């Protein structure tokens, strides 16, 4: 065995694996969307296993409150872009592979071009908008999507849109959830999540990618694995062998309306807008830049205030939660004058440092 394969010798020794399967991994191009709790373990094990080209798509920054489950990062990485940090760490971990950075937010405008260079998509996202975009893009392009999701103590794993031998396709995310009201599902920041669950589900996603690429094992296609971290029990729910959806176009979703920092500062100086902090009490106690404070899961209790005609700029640590909150508000009140602070507090303080 040559030196290039030495690091993979234990997996090559597996029955039914061999050098042929390792070669498939070397030639594979895998896109992981989301470098958070699920993305970190998924990326680490795919890099270690020798996936030839590993793409990372994420536009968020490292936050201290996420370090308990985002194990690729350290406190020193706070406020730096996750995709950039992850790329450097993974490339050092395995110099034999190519790690590609996509420091972007995945949208309906860029998703088809983004996934065109890859064989399989791994959904490690934490919001329903991107999840549906990736699912539908996978269907339209004929590419499989490895799905993972976590909340509190429970996780889910599945492989969507796998092509069957008779040229039909296995179910996709919309076969399980035709649509989801994202306003009814709290984020991990609000509802909480046990950190080890992210590692377990992320490793399962990496495992499904390896099985798919190497053509070994029984894929989680047409079924969903549900894992309970408290009881350490799992069950598999069968959905069916063939999709019943008819996806012909990408979803038309309400885009978040953002406001840049210089615009916000000008508006504050002219008293034409007000800030609204939607972070948790703990985050607010640590640092804030003023304005009213309503946690994101309590916004529905303040509709009269939110839709009273004044311009409000919602903010959080990175702009992700505030962006989702703005979309939620605009869906209920299209005329509401609400915006999301572009880049959140991370961008705000970086802007101040540059002044």
pLDDT value of position 257: 83
Instruction: Output the pLDDT for position 138.
Output: 98
Cα(222)–Cα(226) distance, integer angstroms: 13
Sign of CA dihedral 189, 147, 195, 348: negative
Q: What is the pLDDT of residue 339?
A: 95
Cα distances (angstroms) measured from residue 170 to each of 97, 118, 298: 30, 19, 39
pLDDT value at residue 299 = 93
**pTM across the whole model:** 0.79
pLDDT, residue 4, reads 74
Ordered alpha helix ranges (H), the chain: 3-6, 9-12, 18-27, 39-49, 82-93, 111-115, 128-141, 173-176, 188-191, 195-214, 261-269, 281-286, 303-306, 320-332, 344-354
Phi, psi dihedrals of residue 274, rounded to the nearest 5°: -135, 150
**What tokens appear for 101 in the block?**
């950075």
The mean pLDDT values, 10 residues at a time, for the chain of 355 residues are 83 93 97 97 98 95 88 92 96 96 92 97 92 96 97 96 95 89 57 90 98 96 97 96 94 74 90 95 90 93 93 91 89 91 85 61
Catalytic positions:
188, 316
Residue with tokens 């706070």: 78
Q: DSSP string of 308-351?
A: SSS-EEEE-SSSHHHHHHHHHHHHH-TT--EEEETTHHHHHHHH
Half-sphere exposure of 50 (CA within 13 A, CB side): 20
Q: Which residues contact residue 271 at a Cβ distance below 8 angstroms, ignoring those fewer than 6 apart?
A: none
* pLDDT for res 293: 96
Residue 77 · residue 85 · CB < 8 Å: yes
- Residue 97: the pLDDT is 97
Domains of the chain: 3-238 (3.40.50.720), 258-354 (3.40.250.10)
Question: Which residue(s) pair with 123 in the sheet?
Answer: 33, 147
* Per-residue tokens: 266: 């000008």
Residues 6+ apart with CB under 8 A from 187: 126, 127, 296, 321, 324
Containing 180, the helix (H) or strand (E) segment is none
pLDDT of residue 332: 87
Instruction: Name the token pair of 284.
Output: 């607010």
Q: What is the number of residues in the chain?
A: 355
């Amino acid at each position: 065995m040559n030196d290039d394969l030495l690091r993979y010798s234990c997996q090559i020794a597996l029955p039914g694996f061999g050098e042929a399967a390792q070669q498939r991994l070397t030639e594979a191009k895998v896109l992981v969307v989301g470098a958070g709790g699920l993305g970190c373990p998924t990326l680490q094990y795919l890099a270690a296993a020798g996936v030839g080209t590993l793409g990372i798509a994420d536009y968020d920054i490292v936050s201290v409150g996420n370090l308990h489950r985002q194990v690729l990062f350290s406190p020193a990485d706070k406020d730096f872009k996750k995709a950039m940090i992850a790329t450097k760490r993974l490339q050092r971990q395995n110099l034999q592979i190519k790690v590609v950075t996509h420091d972007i937010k995945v949208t309906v405008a860029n998703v088809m071009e983004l996934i065109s260079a890859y064989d399989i998509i791994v959904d490690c996202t934490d919001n329903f908008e991107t999840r549906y975009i990736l699912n539908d893009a996978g269907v339209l392009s004929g590419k499989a999507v490895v799905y993972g999701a976590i909340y509190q103590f429970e996780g889910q794993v599945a492989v969507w849109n796998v092509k069957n031998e008779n040229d039909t396709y296995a179910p996709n995310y919309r076969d399980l959830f035709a649509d989801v009201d994202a306003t009814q599902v709290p984020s991990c920041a609000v509802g909480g999540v046990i950190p080890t669950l992210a590692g377990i589900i992320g490793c399962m996603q990496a495992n499904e990618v390896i099985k798919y690429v190497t053509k070994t094992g029984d894929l989680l296609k047409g079924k969903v694995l549900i894992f309970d971290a408290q009881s350490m029990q799992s069950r598999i729910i069968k959905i069916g062998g063939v999709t019943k959806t008819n996806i012909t176009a990408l979803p038309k979703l309400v885009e978040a309306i953002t406001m840049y920092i210089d615009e916000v500062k000008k508006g504050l100086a002219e008293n034409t807008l007000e800030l609204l902090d939607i972070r948790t009490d703990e985050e607010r106690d640590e640092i804030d830049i003023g304005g009213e404070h309503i946690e994101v899961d309590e916004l529905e209790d303040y509709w009269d205030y939110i839709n009273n005609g004044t311009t409000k700029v919602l903010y959080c640590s990175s702009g992700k939660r505030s962006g989702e909150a703005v979309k939620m508000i605009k869906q209920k009140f299209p005329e509401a004058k609400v915006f999301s602070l572009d880049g959140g507090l991370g961008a705000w303080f970086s802007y101040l440092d540059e002044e």
